Amino acid sequence: MTRFAVRTVPAPAMADEPRYDLRTVLGGLELDNPVLTASGCAASGRELDQFFDVAALGAVVTKSIMLEPRSGRPTPRMAETPSGMLNSIGLQGPGIDAFLETDLPWLHGKGARAIVSIAGGSVEEYAELARRLRGAPGLSGLEVNISCPNVANRGLVFACDPGAAHEVVGAVRRHTAPSVPVFAKLSPDVTDIVTIARSCVDAGADGLSMINTLLGMAIDTDTMRPVLGGVTGGLSGPAVKPVAVRCVWQVHAALPEVPIIGMGGVRSGLDALELVLAGASAVSVGTAVFGDPGAPARVLRELRHALVDRGFPSVRDAVGHAHRAPEDRP
């Protein structure tokens, strides 16, 4: 992964940019622009807020929250790869009580839209998280991270089984206020992502987030042992972008009316545009912030200019544009 110097000054204010219709709608949730943070890369936004106003983004997607505090997996937890990174954090976090007491109120006070990512080891845990979050001030949406092992079924990952994914999403949808959209976060580590996507939508998902990291590992050739303490980890960064574009393309082609939050290897406005053209109505920026904390703000500026340069009247006109037949394109 290319190393970048960390910015020590705030990114230029996005308010200084020329006016352009960047509004997008995700399952009834209206956003001023389509750029979000990606879950797991910016906690709840505090760290990034010193570099740019996180409220200027379309939304902040929080790190996945679980019912109880969690210490995570053994160290080392991160490893660099030639075009990305492996992480084996293990959903370390303070638990739902601390999140509701500190993090969500902070985001609400900043005026940021918060899409809260939730994770669990059972259907009941997901349902309880949804119940605890229902009616919480500042909650704009829920992202259901189904890339977790089902403890009741020998560790089968919910996101890899259409029936299990349907059950989790359905439970969350039933315990979430109708006005709050629910997004299912899909794993690329499946044979047919469209089948999983369809099962989540049938269960009541208002939209889809894709993709989560790919499962990978690295071995230290000096110690001849796995680099990560947890052996395997999630691969993210530029290496996964082609997979993300493919997944978004396939799901949008099959379910064109379902809004998609696209993510995976976004480092520039052109990366974001590629996902939009494939069918994403919004784009999350994740791993790029480790080298450039101002990346989400920069990507938003670059995406705006890329859309203007290509003659799109609004970002909505660009969503899924690559699917159009040549004669239907301007």
Please list the active-site residues.
148
Collapsing DSSP states into helix, strand and coil, what is residue 160? helix
Go through 19-33 and write b for each residue having 16 or more CB atoms within 10 A of its CB, e for each that does not.
ebebebebbebebeb
CA distance 324 to 74: 47
Helix (H), strand (E) at residue 269: helix 269-278
Residues forming beta bridges with residue 263, ordered by sequence position: 284
Distant-in-sequence, close-in-space partners of 309: CB < 8 Å, separation ≥ 6? none
Cis-peptide, bond into residue 94, ω within 30° of zero: no
Residues forming beta bridges with residue 31, ordered by sequence position: 24
Q: Alpha carbon 270 to chain centroid distance? A: 18
Collapsing DSSP states into helix, strand and coil, what is residue 65? strand
CA distance 314 to 311: 9
Query: In this structure, which amino acid lies at residue 83?
Result: S
CA distance 170 to 73: 29
Answer yes or no: are the C-beta atoms of 278 and 322 closer than 8 Å.
yes
CB count within 10 Å of CB 10 equals 14
Parallel, antiparallel or unpaired: strands 35-37 and 149-150: unpaired
Answer yes or no: are the C-beta atoms of 168 and 126 closer than 8 Å.
yes
